[in-house]
A and B are shown apart, each in its own frame.
Chain A
């Protein structure tokens, strides 16, 4: 041990600390079922129970056999999809950890746009004749009327 000088001991301590942080982080990730959030499994969205009603509603909805949460709530392109997941993941974990969020939960403007696009993604044949031809006007909202197709509330 005498051969070890001060910087070596310090380096070792740092390495151990990083190891602890990495270990804790890894365990937390597994314990919190972190990997489930990378999947398309709708049950993952109700992990923390905040979206239990939406999940329950989806199970009984007309879209349950053709679309899961991610089909309507994330863009369909790979990068955009995981960017949206990461962004929402950050907002949702911060909200649920701190407990500070509006109840009942409300969709944000960006996510609403994602959903509106998703409607058009599948139903383009029908809605292209309905949508405003003049693109400067606000586009017609699909879910303002069809608010229970995915899940009620």
Chain B
């Protein structure tokens, strides 16, 4: 009998279909809610467990892989410093190389000397004129130093290892627990002997206390350098590990190595020349007073200095340092892993990580921020180029004057100016930020370098010329004299 809605058979089937559909909806909903519940549970767990102590870490644990068992995220980032990426004015690019007996590296970075041959002129007579390449990531610091051709040109001291290897455990072993004692012994050793004591590039223990994971400075040269600097500011008996704030430590652990230095005396004691202050002319004044030369320039006979990566000093002159922004804020910004925040141990250029490095504070689009950095760097690079031309011009003139038989006394003024012009230029050239760490300071230093080179050229032509040196402290903020003062 026909009914509305079809035969009983059809109605039954439709009812069954509806029931099945409802069951399917409830099933999917239950499954979805369970998945969400598990996700929420996971996030809560992530937020609760910063780390599991699966390995015991002591003052002897140098191998980062052991630390990595407790801190897998940080270790993972640390291992990624093998990446070779170029930025416009820094970073490195992988070049294939045929390994040989003396140097087993199959990949190296590009030669900076080939890129700008004027560097060879600036460093004539010094090992850097033989081999100088783009700086690679932390992972390569030990092998790149072990196999650089500089080692073959001039035997290097053990002091070099202070910043090219994890040597904290070596200090302790050599000094019987006293790192200052071990430091003195390591400095005086020949490189090969000291190299045998090191097995890793910079490692966890160089910056972290194995018990508490707190940041800790382990390099005696930095402890001594900071003590001298603070003493010059009237602060007596200053101890980095005791007196620095947590935020200061996030710059100081990097400043252990990213600084200007020299090896003092025959014991080759690694020393940071900060007793007068951190600015370039204060450092120069220190070297002048110590009568220290790195080498005698092969073409001009001037006693000259080599500047080394003064990132810490330059950062100190810039706006970021003044605002309390530490190295780690931009070079190791926080990354989120689920609900947890860890600082990125893949130490690298902020230009490769603008969102995390810059946008945390600067709320502008990535392109704009990158463009701002590039403008600063390009301006610095162009000034550096002019300063390099001025210096190479001076070196040519000095060489010529020597050939014409001018006496040492006649050349003294120009040579002294070369020393000061060259150190200033090298200070910016060696600094890894192309001016960004302190843009105006970089421009000031390069402008003075150009001026000193050109003054030296005048001095060679006119024996009566009295050069005007940039005076130490000349850029210090002066008080406006009150009307009653004479």
Closest to A104 in B: B360
**Residue from A11, A49, A99 within 8 A of B19 (CB atoms):** A11
Taking A102-B355, A103-B335, A103-B336 as given, write out 18 further A-B residue pairs in contact, using a Cβ cutoff of 8 Å, ordered by the A residue number.
A6-B16, A7-B16, A10-B19, A17-B30, A21-B33, A24-B30, A28-B40, A31-B41, A48-B339, A49-B340, A50-B339, A52-B341, A96-B43, A97-B36, A104-B355, A104-B360, A106-B363, A153-B361
Q: Is the CB of B26 within 8 A of A18?
A: yes
B37 within 8 A of A: yes
CB distance from A43 to the nearest CB of B (A): 14
A/B pair count, beta carbons within 8 Å: 70
15 contacts between A and B (CB under 8 A): A6-B16, A10-B16, A10-B19, A10-B20, A17-B23, A24-B30, A24-B33, A28-B37, A31-B37, A48-B339, A49-B47, A49-B339, A103-B335, A104-B355, A104-B356
Instruction: Chain A residues near B54: list those with CB within 8 A.
Output: none
Bitwise interface map of A from 125 to 151 toward B, beta carbon under 8 Å scored 1, else 0? 000000000000000000000010000
A60 to chain B, nearest CB (A): 15
Binding site for A on B (CB under 8 A): 12, 15-16, 19-20, 22-23, 26-27, 29-30, 33-34, 36-37, 39-41, 43, 47, 335-336, 338-341, 355-356, 359-361, 363
The secondary structure that dominates the A interface is helix
Closest 6 CB pairs of A and B: A17-B26, A21-B30, A21-B29, A10-B19, A24-B33, A28-B37
Residue numbers in A under 8 Å from B338 (CB-CB)? 99
A13 sits at the interface (CB 8 A): yes
A7 touches B29 (CB 8 A): no
A31 to B45, CA, bound (A): 13
Q: B92 CB to closest chain A CB, in angstroms? A: 27
Total interface residues on A, CB under 8 Å, equals 29
Q: CB-nearest residue of chain A relative to B339?
A: A49
Enumerate A72-116 residues with CB–CB distance to B below 8 Å: 96-97, 99, 102-104, 106
**Contact B23 A10, beta carbon cutoff 8 Å:** yes
A121: CB under 8 A from chain B? no
Residues on the A chain within 8 Å of B340, using CB:
49
Q: Could you give, for residues 8-26 of chain A, a 1 whenever the CB lies within 8 Å of some chain B CB and a 0 otherwise?
A: 0011011001101100110
Give the Cβ gap from A55 to chain B, nearest Cβ, in Å.
Answer: 13
What CA separation (Å) do A25 and B31 show in the bound complex?
10
Query: Is there contact, CB below 8 Å, between A28 and B33?
Result: yes
Residue on B nearest A98 in the bound complex, by CB:
B39
Query: A48-B339, A97-B36, A153-B360 given as contacts; is B19 within 8 A of A14 (CB)?
Result: yes
Q: Given the complex, which residues of B lie within 8 Å of A25, measured CB to CB? A: 29, 33
Hey, which chain A residues are within 8 Å of B16, CB to CB?
Answer: 6-7, 10
Instruction: Give me the interface of A with B, judged by CB distance under 8 Å.
Output: 6-7, 10-11, 13-14, 17-18, 20-21, 24-25, 27-28, 31-32, 48-50, 52, 96-97, 99, 102-104, 106, 147, 153
* Residues in B whose Cβ lies below 8 Å from that of A102: 355
With the chains together, A97 CA to B360 CA distance in Å? 22
Q: Given the complex, which residues of A lie within 8 Å of B26, measured CB to CB?
A: 14, 17-18, 20-21
B54 CB, min distance to chain A CBs, angstroms = 24
- A28 and B43 CA atoms in complex are apart in Å by 13
Distance in angstroms between the alpha carbons of A106 and B363 in the assembled complex:
8
A102, B354: Cα distance in complex, Å: 12
| Partner among B19, B40, B339, B360 whose Cβ is within 8 Å of the Cβ of A31 | B40
Given A6-B16, A96-B43, A27-B37 contact (CB < 8 Å) = yes
B106 to chain A: closest CB distance in Å? 36
Closest to B340 in A: A49
In angstroms, Cα B417 to Cα A97, docked, is 64
Bound CA–CA A103/B333 (angstroms): 11
Task: Point out which of A21, A27, A48, A102 has the most chain B C-beta atoms below 10 A from its C-beta.
Answer: A21
Q: Is the beta-carbon distance between A7 and B15 smaller than 8 angstroms?
A: yes
A28 to B27, CA, bound (A): 16
Expressed in whole angstroms, the Cα–Cα distance for A20 and B34 within the complex equals 10
Chain A min CB distance to B359 (Å)? 5
Chain B residues with CB under 8 Å of A99's CB are 338
In Å, the complex CA distance between A43 and B164 comes to 46
Q: Return chain A residues, CB-CB under 8 Å to B33.
A: 21, 24-25, 28
| Chain A hits for B40, CB < 8 A | 28, 31-32
CA distance A27 to B355 in the complex (A): 37
Give bound CA distance, A80 to B341, whole Å. Answer: 34
A24 in complex: contacting residue of B37, B43, B355, CB < 8 Å: B37
Question: Which of A96, A103, A147 is B355 in contact with, Cβ under 8 Å?
Answer: A103
How far apart are B363's CB and chain A's nearest CB, in angstroms?
7
How many Å lie between the Cα of A88 and that of B361 in the bound state?
A: 23
A110 to chain B, nearest CB (A): 17
Chain A neighbourhood of B39, CB < 8 A: 97
Q: Which residues of B contact A14 (CB under 8 A)?
A: 19, 22-23, 26
